Amino acid sequence: MTRRHLHHVTGHDPAAFNAKVALAAIKGDRTITQLAEHFDVHPNQITTWKAQIEGAASGVFGPGGMAPAVPARPIMLTD
């Protein structure tokens, strides 16, 4: 059984796996070929996932993106 198939058998989130591989490609410590061998994924698939993350990254900070971790204004609690 390959690592990729084992990944699906163990019930991990496939989207999280894809993001992990794509972020490793963006980081650039290893070549796409090295990542493909390490994660047992075709190099073209890694390139596709990398492009998807890079294309969607600006949406995180735009209107309708993720909520900030800290509110923009302090919330005043009253009794």
What does the alpha-carbon distance between residue 57 and residue 14 come to, in Å, rounded to a whole number? 19
User: Torsions phi, psi of 41, nearest 5?
Assistant: -135, 145
With a cut of 70, say whether residue 51 has pLDDT above it: yes
User: E strands of 1-79, at which residues?
Assistant: none
Tens-digit pLDDT profile for residues 1-44: 455 544 544 567 899 999 999 999 999 999 999 999 999 999 99
Band of pLDDT at residue 59, cut at 50, 70 and 90 = confident
pTM strictly above 0.75: no
> What is the predicted pLDDT for the residue at 25?
98
DSSP state of 69: S
